[in-house]
Chains A and B, each alone.
Chain A
Amino acid sequence: MNQILLGVSFPFVAALIVYAIRRGRTSVRILILVPVCMTISALWAIAPDIPRLLGFSDLYNRLASDPRCDIFFWHYSIDLMEINSPWYTAGFVLILLCLLTAAWRELYLREKGL
């Protein structure tokens, strides 16, 4: 979960900066682009775990012991010191809430005629 959270964080922070520059306004295009980028980024972060989900245990075990998997957002290093915590899920939900809030705010402002 922490790797997914790390993965979605990069596009989210970039989107946050763009949102601040645009003074709290966004467009449908950006609202679609941001979650797509977050999904791609999250998939990149958990790429070494995908073989395990698909049943390829040998490949998964090989990747799990290969330090070069750090190109997937430090996946190997994180696995070495990983601790399970519900705060990772809470952080992920918070990011989703931020996206929903930004989208809702845009809808509200447009309906107000701003």
Chain B
Amino acid sequence: MHSSFHFALGLALGTLTFLPAILRRLLFEQRMAFLMRKWLWVSYALGIFAIIPNILRRIGTPEPVCTGWQMNIFLFHPLINNLKSGGMLIGLAVIIICFIIQYSFLTAAIALSNKS
């Protein structure tokens, strides 16, 4: 699978994990900045975590290490690679969707802070 797909997987996992807490805060019009910051950090960190095998491959790590079963700790990287090839467009689409979700909540929080 393309590295975009793996990155998107990590990003989506981080985005969805925090979503209920973000929604709760937004509905009760509580301060959002610190939780939002954590949300962004965690989701993009997970995205980078998911592509560590790709990074290792690029810096010259031997292929058996990059595709070994132990690399499944990076969000099932080799397992997903064995399922299907490609995935760049899907990855890009998921990255854009996650961005839209996070950006929409940020903009909504700013608009709400305007009101209060």
Residues of chain A at the chain B interface (Cβ within 8 Å): 1, 28, 31-32, 35, 86, 89, 92-93, 96-97, 99-101, 103-104, 106-108, 110-111
* Contacts A/B (CB < 8 Å), 30 sampled: A28-B114, A31-B103, A31-B107, A31-B110, A35-B103, A86-B4, A89-B3, A89-B7, A89-B88, A92-B92, A92-B95, A93-B47, A93-B95, A96-B95, A99-B99, A99-B103, A100-B99, A100-B106, A101-B40, A103-B107, A104-B36, A104-B40, A106-B110, A107-B33, A107-B36, A107-B106, A107-B109, A107-B110, A111-B31, A111-B113
Contacts of A28 on B, CB cut-off 8 Å? 107, 110-111, 114
What DSSP secondary structure best describes chain A's contact surface? helix
Residues of chain B at the chain A interface (Cβ within 8 Å): 3-4, 7, 31-33, 36-37, 40, 44, 47, 54, 88, 91-92, 95, 99, 102-103, 106-107, 109-111, 113-114
Q: Indicate which residue in B40, B92, B113 contacts A110 across the interface (CB closer than 8 Å).
A: B113
Whether B95 and A110, one on each chain, are in contact in the complex, defined by CB atoms closer than 8 angstroms, is no
CB proximity of A23 to chain B, nearest CB, Å: 17
What DSSP secondary structure best describes chain B's contact surface? helix
Whether B88 and A1, one on each chain, are in contact in the complex, defined by CB atoms closer than 8 angstroms, is yes
Whether A107 and B103, one on each chain, are in contact in the complex, defined by CB atoms closer than 8 angstroms, is no
Q: Indicate which residue in B3, B107, B113 contacts A86 across the interface (CB closer than 8 Å).
A: B3
Complex CA–CA separation, A100 to B37 (angstroms): 10
Whether A1 and B107, one on each chain, are in contact in the complex, defined by CB atoms closer than 8 angstroms, is no
